[in-house]
Amino acid sequence: MVKHIQALGAWGLDVTSGFGRATLVWWRALWGRPDFRDGPRLFLQQIYFVGVYSLIITVVSGVLIGMVLALQGYTVLVRFGAESALGQFVSLTLLRELGPVVAALLFAGRAGSALTAEIGLMKATEQLASMEMIGVDPLRRVLRPRLLAGILSMPLLAQIFNAVAIWGAVMVGVHWLGVDAGSFWSNMQSAVDFSADVVNGLVKSVVFGVVVTWIAVYQGYDSVPTSAGISAATTRTVVHSSLAVLALDFFPHRRDVRRDLIICLLHNKLFH
Task: List residues binding another protein (CB under 8 A).
Answer: 41, 44-45, 47-48, 51-52, 55, 91, 95, 153, 155-157, 159-160, 162-164, 166, 185, 188-190, 192-194, 197-198, 202, 263, 266-267, 270-271
Name the residue nearer to another protein (CB basis): 45 or 125.
45
3 state SS for 117-147: HHHHHHHHCCHHHHHHHCCCCHHHHHHHHHH
Phi, psi of 40 (to 5 degrees): -60, -40
Min dist. Cβ of residue 198 to another protein (A): 5
Long-range contacts formed by 174-183: CB under 8 A, 24+ apart: 177/70, 177/71, 177/74, 177/83, 179/74, 179/83, 179/84, 179/86, 179/87, 180/84, 183/84, 183/87
Asked if 54 and 157 count as a contact pair (C-beta separation under 8 A), the reply is: yes
Could you report how far apart the first and last alpha carbons of the chain are, in Å? 67
Rounded CA separation 114/153 (Å): 15
Min dist. Cβ of residue 52 to another protein (A): 5
Name the residue nearer to another protein (CB basis): 47 or 142.
47
Name the residue nearer to another protein (CB basis): 21 or 175.
175
Name the residue nearer to another protein (CB basis): 120 or 155.
155
Which amino acid does the sequence have at 162? N
Min dist. Cβ of residue 162 to another protein (A): 6
Helix 2-30 / helix 200-221 crossing angle, nearest 10 deg: 110
Name the residue nearer to another protein (CB basis): 89 or 218.
89
Min dist. Cβ of residue 173 to another protein (A): 14
For residue 252, give the DSSP letter.
S
Min dist. Cβ of residue 201 to another protein (A): 8
Rounded CA separation 156/36 (Å): 24
Q: What is the DSSP string of 185-208?
A: HHHHHHH--IIIIIIHHHHHHHHH
Min dist. Cβ of residue 131 to another protein (A): 22
Min dist. Cβ of residue 28 to another protein (A): 26
Name the residue nearer to another protein (CB basis): 207 or 230.
207
Name the residue nearer to another protein (CB basis): 97 or 222.
97
